[in-house]
């Protein structure tokens, strides 16, 4: 038997404006500019407002959709996205590297070798298979197969190994190595033959595992070396570069990671002044031609004009949501950043990490009245330029622990104290985690051994045994 019943469900849908705002909030300033440019291309109703004044010196008349008396009433709104009181128009210096890329450098060196067309193709494919750090982490078998199927070059393992040896002779030294041991050996071959170099070669060839685990006493015993000879050999090895590809590609990675800050914080006369540099973000205004078209068609009975008016109205609605979303983004970012500055005022005055208070997303959400998810979107991929450097907004968020006085301190402060303990230790007898707990306690921080181990790992500090030096 079929039964009928009523069920009430409450659903919540986001408006187009809310959707636009959420998407725009997540974008850093560089991506925001691209997004606005895209909207300008796709929506003919929007124009870039090149100047705030017209040629006759008068400010351009803003368009109010209340002027259009259609059956479907459209609320009025400002189409000008005049959200920046101070443009802070500063020149952007996009630092493009004049250096050649890693692959280009190797290909150029390959061109100087007297090779057949077939050999050149094999060697060129090997170069293209190298990782960014200069290593060849693919097997010779897979290279042979790929050369056959992808490059239509028939070869064998012997020829690939022969061409690999040629690539390994290129600068920077160590390129084309298949592991760290081979990379270091390739580099040390170029060093002048001295007793310490010869010892270093023997260590890398015969005692590499012992060397990486810092079993220096075992190496000294087996090789019959004195402590001084051992120190000299290790010093030679430590001067070698474990990532030869980075010598050339550093400039390119810097370019890819170039940052334009979303916020600018200045400290003047005891006051912290926050601004949002506009850079090249365009201001938007309505295209008068389309506005006039809609106005003309408002009271017309012609079908074509009605259709044109409907199209323009749709685009105007889209423009409204987009412009308003930009305004809301600006207000949300500004109020959130201001709340962070107010919360961390002592830190922003001098940049001292010890003044950085424990702070989580919930703290700023409570101050601003925004949802935690909104704060998360604001913080993501955003940067602020201060008088002591450029920082990611995520940097200012950290959990806290209590010190011996019962005061809550930032985990960042704890990490700094831990780093100082390690830096000041006797490298011949490095501190164990238990000893680090004692040192931290002496500094007034109550931390457990597992906490010390956790922070040590996060800081990239190896265990005591691996920090020991001769």
Distance, in Å, from the CA atom of 75 to the CA atom of 85, rounded to the nearest integer, reads 26
Phi, then psi, of 435 in degrees rounded to 5: -70, -35
Task: Examine the domain organization and report whether 114 and 139 are in the same domain.
Answer: yes
pTM: 0.53
What pLDDT sits at residue 341? 93
Please identify, among 175, 199, 225, the residue that sits at the C-terminal boundary of a domain: 175
Helices 433-442/449-458 angle, 10° precision: 100
Task: Examine the domain organization and report whether 204 and 283 are in the same domain.
Answer: no
Residue 137 within any structural domain of the chain = yes
Give the pLDDT of the chain (470 residues) as one tens digit per residue.
556 666 655 555 566 667 777 888 888 877 888 888 888 888 877 777 655 444 444 444 444 444 443 433 333 334 444 444 444 444 443 333 334 567 888 888 888 888 888 899 899 999 988 888 888 988 898 888 888 887 788 889 999 999 999 999 998 888 999 998 999 999 988 888 898 999 999 999 898 888 888 888 888 888 988 888 888 888 888 888 888 876 544 444 444 456 778 899 998 888 899 988 765 566 666 666 766 666 666 556 667 666 766 777 787 778 778 888 888 888 999 999 999 999 999 889 988 877 888 888 889 999 999 988 889 888 888 889 998 888 889 888 877 666 665 566 677 778 888 888 888 888 888 888 888 888 888 888 888 888 888 888 888 888 887 787 76
Q: Please name the residues in contact with 59: beta carbons below 8 A apart, sequence gap of 6 or more.
A: 52, 53
pLDDT digits (tens, 9 = 90+) for 132-155: 888 898 889 888 888 888 778 888
The domain total for the chain is: 4
Task: Examine the domain organization and report whether 106 and 168 are in the same domain.
Answer: yes
What pLDDT sits at residue 308? 67
Task: Examine the domain organization and report whether 376 and 280 are in the same domain.
Answer: yes
> Could you give the 3-state DSSP secondary structure of residue 67?
helix
DSSP 210: H
Please identify, among 137, 158, 175, the residue that sits at the C-terminal boundary of a domain: 175
Domain extent, residue 28, equals 16-51+60-87+275-390
Quick one: 107 exposed, middle or buried, by C-beta within 10 A (0-12, 13-18, 19+)? middle
Q: Are 182 and 144 in contact (CB under 8 A)?
A: no
CATH code, domain carrying 109: 1.10.10
């Amino acid at each position: 038997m079929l039964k009928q019943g009523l069920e009430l469900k409450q659903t919540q849908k986001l408006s187009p404006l809310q959707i636009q705002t959420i998407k725009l909030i997540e974008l850093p300033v560089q991506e925001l500019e691209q997004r606005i440019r895209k909207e300008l291309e796709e929506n003919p109703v929007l124009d870039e407002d090149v100047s705030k004044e017209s040629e006759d010196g008068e400010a351009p008349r803003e368009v109010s959709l209340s002027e259009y008396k259609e059956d479907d009433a459209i609320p009025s709104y400002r189409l000008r996205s005049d959200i920046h009181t101070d443009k802070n128009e500063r020149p952007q210096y996009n630092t493009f590297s004049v250096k050649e890329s890693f692959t280009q450098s190797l290909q150029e060196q390959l061109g100087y070798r007297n090779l057949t067309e077939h050999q050149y193709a094999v060697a060129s494919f090997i170069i293209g298979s190298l990782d960014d750090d200069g290593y060849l982490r693919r097997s010779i078998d897979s290279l042979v197969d790929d050369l056959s199927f992808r490059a239509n070059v028939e070869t064998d393992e012997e020829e690939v190994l022969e061409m690999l040896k040629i690539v390994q002779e290129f600068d920077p030294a160590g390129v084309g190595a298949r592991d760290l041991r081979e990379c270091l050996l390739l580099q040390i071959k170029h060093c002048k033959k001295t007793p310490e170099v010869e010892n270093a070669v023997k260590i890398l060839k015969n005692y590499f595992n012992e060397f990486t685990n810092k079993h220096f006493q075992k190496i000294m015993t087996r090789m019959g070396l004195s402590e001084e000879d051992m120190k000299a050999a290790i010093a030679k090895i430590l001067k070698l570069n474990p990532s030869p590809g980075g010598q050339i590609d550093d400039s390119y990675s810097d370019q890819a990671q170039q940052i334009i800050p979303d916020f600018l914080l200045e400290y003047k006369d005891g006051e912290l002044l926050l601004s949002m540099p506009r850079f090249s973000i365009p201001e938007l205004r309505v295209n008068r031609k389309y506005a006039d078209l809609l106005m003309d068609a408002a009271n017309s009975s012609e079908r074509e004009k009605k259709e044109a008016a409907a199209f323009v109205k749709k685009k105007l609605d889209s423009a409204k949501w987009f412009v308003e979303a930009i305004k809301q983004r600006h207000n949300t970012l500004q109020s959130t950043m201001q709340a962070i500055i107010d919360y961390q005022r002592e830190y922003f005055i001098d940049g001292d990490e010890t003044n950085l208070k424990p702070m989580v997303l919930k703290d700023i959400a409570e101050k601003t009245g925004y949802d935690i998810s909104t704060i998360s979107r604001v913080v993501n991929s955003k940067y602020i330029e201060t008088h002591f450097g450029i920082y990611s907004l995520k940097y200012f968020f950290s959990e806290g622990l209590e010190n011996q006085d019962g005061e809550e301190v930032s985990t960042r402060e704890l990490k700094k104290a831990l780093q100082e303990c390690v830096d000041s230790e006797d490298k011949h007898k490095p501190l164990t985690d238990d000893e680090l707990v004692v040192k931290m306690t002496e500094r007034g921080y109550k931390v457990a051994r597992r906490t010390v181990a956790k922070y040590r790992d996060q800081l990239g500090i190896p265990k005591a045994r691996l920090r020991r030096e001769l």
